[in-house]
Amino acid sequence: MTNSTVHPAQVLLDAQAGGTQRLPVCDHYSGVEERMRKSLQLQAEMMAEFGACVFDVTLDCEDGAPVGQELQHARLVAGLARNAAPGARVAARVHAVDHAAFQQDMDIIAGEAGARLCHIMVPKVESVEDVLLAEKALQRATGQPVPLHVLIESPAAVHRAFEIAAHPAVQSISFGLMDFVSAHGGAIPSSAMGVEGQFQHPLVVRAKLEIAAACHAHGKVPSHCVVTEFKNPAVMQAAATKAFNDFGYTRVWSIHPAQIRPILAAFMPASDEVALAADILAAAANADWAPISHHGVLHDRASYRYYWQLLERAHRTGQHIPVAASHWFGPAGS
Q: Verify that 312 and 234 share a domain, yes or no.
A: no
Pick the last residue of a domain from 216, 249, 267. 267
Same domain, 68 and 145: yes
Please check whether residues 277 and 222 belong to one and the same domain: no
Half-sphere exposure of 250 (CA within 13 A, CB side): 24
Q: Cβ(236)–Cβ(230) under 8 Å?
A: yes
Both 180 and 292 in one domain: the answer is: no
Q: Which domain holds residue 86?
A: 26-267
Last residue of a domain, one of 214, 235, 267: 267
Residue where one domain finishes, among candidates 249, 267, 285: 267
16 domain residue, yes or no: no
Confirm whether 203 is domain-assigned: yes
pLDDT of residue 19: 45
Is 56 in the same domain as 187? Answer: yes
Quick one: 250 and 298 in the same domain? no
Average pLDDT by stretches of 10, the chain with 334 residues: 67 58 92 97 95 94 92 98 95 98 97 97 98 97 94 97 97 97 96 95 98 96 92 94 96 96 96 95 94 94 93 90 89 42
Residues 119 and 248 in one domain: yes
Domain co-membership, 177 together with 95: yes
Q: How far apart are CA 173 and CA 167, in angstroms?
A: 11
| pLDDT given for residue 334 in this prediction | 35
| CA 133/CA 127 separation, integer angstroms | 10
pLDDT for the residue 15: 46
